[in-house]
Amino acid sequence: MKKHRILAAISAPVALFSATLLASEKLYNFAFKRVDYVPETSADKQKYADAYWSYVDWLHRQPVENWELNPDDDQNHLVATYVPAKGASQKTVIISHGYKGDGETMANYAYMFHQMGYNVLLPDDRGHGQSAGKYISFGWQDRRDYLEWISRVLQTNGPRTQIVLFGVSMGGATVEMMSGEALPPQVQAIIADCGYTSIEEELAYLLKRQFHLPKYPFVPIVSFINRHRMGYFLSDVSSVEQLRKNTRPILFIHGEKDVYVPSWMLKKNYQAANGPKQMWQVPNATHAESFWIDPATYQKHVEAFLKQYLPQA
Q: Which residues contact 52 (CB under 8 A, 6 or more apart)?
A: 41, 107, 108
C-alpha to C-alpha distances, 186 to 130, 159, 255, 309, nearest whole angstrom: 28, 7, 29, 12
Alpha helices by DSSP H, listed for 89-139, are 107-115
The pLDDT, as a whole number, for residue 12 is: 45
The pLDDT, as a whole number, for residue 211 is: 87
The pLDDT, as a whole number, for residue 15 is: 57
Specify the fold of 33-198+237-309: Rossmann fold (3.40.50)
Q: Against a cut of 0.85, is the pTM above it?
A: yes
130-178 residue pLDDT tens = 999 999 999 999 999 999 999 999 999 999 999 999 999 999 999 999 9
Cis peptide before 123 (omega within 30 of 0): no
Helix, coil or strand: residue 235:
helix
Domain positions in the chain are 33-198+237-309
The pLDDT, as a whole number, for residue 306 is: 98
The pLDDT, as a whole number, for residue 152 is: 98
Residue from 284, 111, 251 nearest 176 by CA: 251
Which residues of the chain carry a pLDDT beneath 50?
3, 6-12
